[in-house]
Structure 1
Amino acid sequence: MVEKVQYKVNDVVRMKKKHPCGSDTWTILRVGMDFGLKCNGCGHFVMMPRVKFEKMAKAIVTEE
């Protein structure tokens, strides 16, 4: 059985696709049904549904 990854606020995650600014790392600011993410390159903030986030997240870079 595959274990679910536990994401926490202030974790830095690497995504599969790059943001238009060129960065592929994001800081998690909100966790719940929706994830609040801030781009580490340009500071852009986005809200993303949990299902979409879990498909797009590749790895946790640093854990808080």
Structure 2
Amino acid sequence: MYQVGEIVEMKKKHPCGYNRWKIVRVGMDFRIKCTYCGRSVMIPRKKFEKNFKKKL
């Protein structure tokens, strides 16, 4: 369903003010990278799926 390299939009914004993320790692945990500032965050799959809005 989710693939590395996809750009997704999340419900909550990153502190930099942008809510578009690039998926870097998929598994039990997701590593996503902010497409604006470049900061990466690791979050559990359940939280990712809850906050997921749409694919771009």
Query: How many residue pairs align between the two structures?
Result: 56
Normalised TM-score (structure 2): 0.97
Unaligned runs of 5+ in 2: none
Cα RMSD for the two superposed structures: 0.5
Unaligned runs of 5+ in 1: 1-5
The residue that corresponds to 2:48 in the other structure is: 53
Q: Among all aligned residue pairs of Structure 1 and Structure 2, give the percentage whose two residues are the same amino acid.
A: 57
- Higher alpha-carbon Rg: 1
Q: CA deviation at 1:41?
A: 1.1
Instruction: Tell me which stretches of 4 or more aligned residues in structure 1 moved more than 6 Å.
Output: none
Normalised TM-score (structure 1): 0.85
